[in-house]
Amino acid sequence: MLRVLPSVCPLDCPDTCAVNITVKGDQVLKLDGADHPITRKFACVKMARFPEKQHHPDRLTVPLKRVGRKGEGKFVPVSWDEALEGIAAELKLRITRFGEQSILPFSYAGTMGLIERDFPLAFFRGLGAAELDWTICAATGGAAWEFNYGPNKLSTAPEDVEHSGLIVLWGFNPLRSNSHLVPILKAARKRGARIVHIDPFRNETSKFADTHLQVSVGTDAALALCMGREILSRERQDNEYLDAYATGLDAYQAACQEWTIERTADYCGLSIDEVRCLADALCASQNSFIKVGYGLSRNEGGGNAVRAITLLPALLGSWKHKGGGGALSTSGGFYLNTNRYSGEHLLRPNRRHVNQNQLGSELVGSEPGKSATSALIVFNSNPAAIAPASGLVRQGLEREDLFTVVIEHFQTDTADYAD
């Protein structure tokens, strides 16, 4: 008997497509886009091919136990009882010898499904394991937004972007990574909106936009501060809005002062006309919208770049007008308290924190045999491929005294190092 079940794409993507899943017994037959005001019955090819992934012949369906050296990828199948009992015994041994905090769970956004992503954390928090700080992707940009606007990542509603007069896509490639925003951008253009793309690389969105500003890598903050200087010098700031909602204008103005159009053009690798035209456009539009991508936050000074860019809607007061404002993420618009089922109430005082970006150093230790981690449990991530300092990460994963468990759909680079 065929059943059609409503669901949502679990991939780490801003679109979060609504889908209908057709199943027969335990077999997923197909996925179709569901009726939704944003995703509009369209699911991208990654999600449309989900049944192919679900039933792929390379899917791991039974536990595997290592028989070769770590990293060789040599395993034999074992029963679930043997695997689970073996894992429990190893963890108990390490807790006895080294303490609960020598166990490190490593996870991130392999699935964004709230239960699959967050619920396992309750087990490790109840166990008293080390706490992993999720720093690898959005932490810097999120912290920058919080400095400017507070802890909730509120943004302009995507539906309202259609009414924007000027759309600035800053370090963001929606034609490749946010496909359901594209029809909204096209609708805005039909209403007369101008679209500007700011990115060091010329890509699909650059060709789609009316203007592409190909800034040098890492110079985004300077361009944003120059825009602030121009807005203030031309007296285009919204003083009523700033008086009501902002503090620190004098310090901000002082930070902008050195970034003249001429200096900024030279520093950013742009022409003077390109910089001036962007300032003209921002000053002329009452309801400009600035969408910032996370990529530009992932370099030295990236957090301050996000801060400088996302302050511009406040300076202009564009938040007041339909279609105006900005966005880094829309996640704050749909707040859900996950504290209970992720086990935050189980967190112990004086717990050990591990920065996700420093996994390599954590596993290798300050000197041989001195790592504080005796067991690594990996789920929803592939650190051998995605963590910084990958050579150091792999060196740590090769430790024979490190007990490693990897929960995965496929035999990934990290799974090759699992016990």
What's the rounded Cα separation, in Å, for the pair 287 and 327? Answer: 14
Assess whether 290 and 217 both reside in one domain.
yes
Mapping DSSP onto H, E and C, the string for 21-39 reads EEEECCEEEEEEECCCCCC
Does any domain span residue 30?
yes
In tens, the pLDDT along 179-216 reads: 999 999 999 999 999 999 999 999 999 999 999 999 99
Number of domains in the chain: 3
Assess whether 109 and 144 both reside in one domain.
no
- The CATH number linked to 270 is 3.40.228.10
- The CATH number linked to 368 is 3.40.50.740
Structure tokens at 137: 């992707």
What's the rounded Cα separation, in Å, for the pair 324 and 166? Answer: 8
Domain that holds residue 96: 64-136+336-417
Q: Give the pLDDT score at 369.
A: 64
Q: Give the pLDDT score at 159.
A: 94
Contact 413, 95 (CB under 8 A): no
In tens, the pLDDT along 139-180 reads: 999 999 999 998 877 899 999 999 999 999 999 999 999 999
Assess whether 202 and 249 both reside in one domain.
yes
Does any domain span residue 227?
yes
- The CATH number linked to 16 is 2.20.25
User: Which among 328, 356, 379 is the end of a domain?
Assistant: 328
User: Which among 280, 304, 328 is the end of a domain?
Assistant: 328
What's the rounded Cα separation, in Å, for the pair 279 and 268? Answer: 15
In tens, the pLDDT along 263-281 reads: 999 999 999 999 999 999 9
Name the pLDDT band for 368 (thresholds 50, 70, 90).
Answer: low
Q: Give the pLDDT score at 176.
A: 92
Assess whether 274 and 233 both reside in one domain.
yes
Work out the widest C-alpha separation in the chain, in whole angstroms.
72
In tens, the pLDDT along 289-334 reads: 999 999 999 888 999 999 999 999 999 999 999 999 999 988 877 7
Name the pLDDT band for 418 (thresholds 50, 70, 90).
Answer: very high
Assess whether 302 and 402 both reside in one domain.
no
Assess whether 351 and 303 both reside in one domain.
no
What is the average pLDDT across 216-233? 98
What's the rounded Cα separation, in Å, for the pair 70 and 413? Answer: 11
Assess whether 205 and 113 both reside in one domain.
no
Q: Which of 258, 239, 320 is nearest to 285 (CA)?
A: 320
Assess whether 304 and 237 both reside in one domain.
yes
Instruction: Say whether pLDDT at 366 is over 70.
Output: no
Q: Give the pLDDT score at 224.
A: 99
Structure tokens at 216: 């040098």
Does any domain span residue 413?
yes
Assess whether 90 and 22 both reside in one domain.
no
Assess whether 196 and 249 both reside in one domain.
yes
Does any domain span residue 196?
yes
User: Which among 272, 299, 328 is the end of a domain?
Assistant: 328
Does any domain span residue 192?
yes
Does any domain span residue 300?
yes
CA angle 267, 269, 271 (to 5 degrees): 105
Assess whether 10 and 149 both reside in one domain.
no
Cβ-count burial 157-196 (b if 16+ within 10 Å, e if not): ebebbbbbbbbbbbbbbbbebbbbbeebbeebbeeebbbb
Does any domain span residue 28?
yes
Assess whether 117 and 17 both reside in one domain.
no
Contact 309, 170 (CB under 8 A): yes
Does any domain span residue 59?
no
Q: Give the pLDDT score at 337.
A: 83
What's the rounded Cα separation, in Å, for the pair 391 and 41? Answer: 43
Q: Give the pLDDT score at 248.
A: 96
What is the average pLDDT across 345-357? 94
Q: Give the pLDDT score at 218.
A: 94
